[in-house]
Structure 1
Amino acid sequence: MSDFLTRFEKSLNGLKRRARHRELVLSGSGLDFSSNDYLAMSQHPKLLAAVTIALAEGVGLGATGSRLLRGHHTEHQVLETQAAQFFGSQAALYFANGFMANYALFTCLPKLGDLVIYDELVHASIHDGMLASKATTRAALHNDLQDFEDKIINARNKGVKGRIWLAIESIYSMDGDMASAANFMRLANKYDAFLVVDEAHATGVWGQGGKGLMAKWEGAENLITIHTCGKALGASGAFICAPQTIYDYMVNFSRPFIFSTAPAPLMAFTVAKSLEILQTEPELSATLKQLIKYASGLFAELGIKPSGTQIQPVIIGDAAKTMQIARQLQQAGFDIRGVRPPTVPDGSSRLRITLTLNVTERDIGDMVSLLKPLWEASHD
C-alpha cells in the first residue's frame, strides 16, 4: 500500500480495534425497527400514485441549477408557500436535506460577537455549522434549562453584547427525549434571544397536526425551526421556517443556499403531496402514538426507561457487545442497528429502536421477547 493511503488505513484499523468500524448495510431486510419512516409515508399509496402522475406530466427530475440561476421552479415556490402555511411561519426556505439546512443556518445567521448556547446533544450538522461560524459557542448540559440560563447570565456579566442564540432539538435523535418547548421559549423571550429548534423527529408526529412541538409559537420573530422531510414525511429535504426577513437574508447571504444546485422539482412536489396527506389523515400519527404507548409498557417491564417517543434507546454501554446484540436481532428478522461513539458519548453504545407504521403490536411484542434475554445477559 502506498504511503499516501497508509495513514487512512491506520485510522480504519483503529476503528476496528475499538469496535467502531462502520459498513454500509442494504435496507429492506427484516422488520423495520431502525428507519425514520415513522408514518410509513415513503410507501403511502397516494404518495406513490401522485409521483407517478407527476412524472408522466413532466415534473422535472433535476433542477438544472441553483435557485438563483434557473433552478427555481414552480414546485419549489408552491411547496414553500404551502409549508409556511402548514407550520405557521411567515416563510419556509427549502433545502436538499436537514444537514444542509442546519449548516446553512448556523454559518449564516450568528455573527462575530454573538454567542450560541447549544444543547450538548444537538445534531452533528449544528456542530459543523457552528464550527464554520464566527460566533462564540458554549455547550449546555442536556435539557438543563438552568444551565442554559446560567450561561446567558454569565455571558452578559462578562460583557458579551452580541445576540444570544439558543440551539436545541425538540426530540433528540439518539435518546428520544423531548425538550420543554414552553420553557425554552420563555427563556428566549426573557433574555431577548433567538431560539433555534431542530424539529426533525417531531415533524409529522408531534404537536398539533404534526406541526412540531414549537407549533404554538411559530411566527414569533425570535423563533426559527427546522423541519425535515426525510423522516415522517417520507421524502427528502428540509425547511427553515422563519420570519420573512430571515428567509430573504439567507437567499442573499447563505453560501450553501446560493452555491448549491436546487433540490429536484419532483422531490419538492413529493413533499407537498406528503404534507397534504398528513393534513387529511391524522390517524397516521394517532396510530403511531398507540404503538409507542404499547411499546413503552413492554420496555418498562424490562427495566428500560421508556422515552415516550418513537425513538427508544437501549443502552448497552460496550460497543462490541452492542453490535453483537444488534446482529443477533437482525439474524432473527428484526432490523435494529447499534449506535456507537462518536455518534453517542463514550460508554453509551446502544440499540436505537425506532417505532414506525411499518410494524404492528405483534411485531413489537415479538421483538421485545427476543430482546429480553439479550438485554438481561448484557447486564449480568
Structure 2
Amino acid sequence: MRVAIIGAGAAGLASARHISNTSDFSLDVFEMGARPGGTWVYTDDVGQDRYGYPVYSAMYKGLKTNLPKEVMGFPDFPIPEQSRSYLTQAEILNFLELYAAKFDLMRYIKLNTMVTEVRPEGNLWKITSVHKPTRKESTELYDAVMICNGHYNDPIFPNIPGQELFSGSIDHSHNFRDAERFKGKRVLVVGAGPSGLDLTLQASTVAEYVVLSHHSSEPINTQYPPNVELRPDVKRVIEFNKVEFVDGTCCCFDEILHCTGYRYSFPFLHESCGISVDENHIEPLYKHMIHIDRPNMCFIGIPFNVCAFQMFDLQARYFCKVLDGSLSLPSTTDMRLHTEKDMRNRWAKGYTKRQAHMMGPDQQSYYDDLAAAASTTPIAPVMVKLRDLSVKKLYNDFLNFRQDRYKILDEHNFVKV
C-alpha cells in the first residue's frame, strides 16, 4: 500500500513514524518547507518565501511553549529531561528533529515540495506537487492520504466597523515576527488567546501603551506592566486613529494587531474530494479524522484544546489499524449516524461551529474511545490533568507560570518540583 502524508510538522512526523513501521506500506511525506518541523520552524519571511510561494509560518521570535514539556512529548519518545518544563521554539524544533532521526524519517520526506492538488481517481488519490526551487511538477497515485498541514495557515481577520477610516496598520499575529515594529507606538491587540496574551506582553516592552481587547470566558487575572490595559470588545473605528469599545470608552492607536485565530484551510483539496469547511466545521469526518465517504483519507490533528503531540500519535496509530485491516470501520451509514449524534451532543452543550472540533473537557473520553476502538495504548490521564492545570495558570499568572517545573510520577499523578 502506498501512503502519502501532507506536512512534516509534529502531526506528519508522528504519522510517518507509524506508517513506516507498518509492513508492506510505502511512504512519501510532502513538506513545503526547507526542513521538517511545521509551525515550529521560524522564518523571517512574511507573505512569500524566496521562491515566491506563500509563507504559512506563524512562528515569532521569543516564543515559548504554553504547555510543559512533560505533556508535549510523544508516548514512545518523551522530551529529554532538563532543568525547565517550558521550552523555546528552537528547543521544540530540535526535539522534532531528534524524533525524525530516531525513527529514520528523513528518507521519506520531500522537502521544499508543495502539494498543489489532491483529487480522487477511482479508489486512489492523485496528488500533484511542485518542487519549489526547480518548479518541477509531479503527479503520483496513492492508496491512502493523511492530511497533516496544521491549523495556522489561514488567519481570521475580523471586520471592524469603520476600519477603512483607520490610518495606521491593521495586521494579524500570523505576520508578527518581533516587537520592534511597535516601538514608541500605541497598540491595540484584539483577542486573548495564548498568542494575544503573549504578544501583548512583548509589545509592552517597547510600545508607549498597549490595550488588550477581549471577550474571553476565562478570567484574565495576570498583572501586566503599567502600560497595559484590558478593555472589552471593539465596537468600531470612529476616525483615523480612534477606536470605540462596547462599553463606550475610546482610545487612540497607531497599530491594530489581531490575535483572532485561524481557519482550517486545505487549498490543495479539489472539490471532488467531498470535504467542506463551514466556520471551521469540517465535514464529513468520523471521529474528527476519517473521511466518511472515502475512508482512505484522514486528517491528523484537527481537534484543538488537546494534548497535541500525544493525540497526533494516537490518531496515527488508529489510522494505521484501519489501513492494515486490523480495525474495521463501521458502515458509511453508521459512521454518518455516529457523527451526527456526536455533533448534536456538541450543539446541545452550546458549542458553536467554530468549536465543532474543540475537545477541552471532552478530550480524555475522545482519547479513550480511539484507543479502545483500535486496541492500542491510551493517553495517560496525567497528561490531561497537567495540561489543564497549565492552561488555568496561563490565565491566572501569565507573567510567571512558565517558571514552574513538573515531574510525572505515574499515569495519574504529577508533582511540581
TM-score normalised by structure 2 residue count: 0.29
Quick one: higher RCO (CA 8 Å, sep 6+), 1 or 2? 1
TM-score normalised by structure 1 residue count: 0.31
In proportion to residue count, which structure has more helix? 1
In proportion to residue count, which structure has more strand? 2
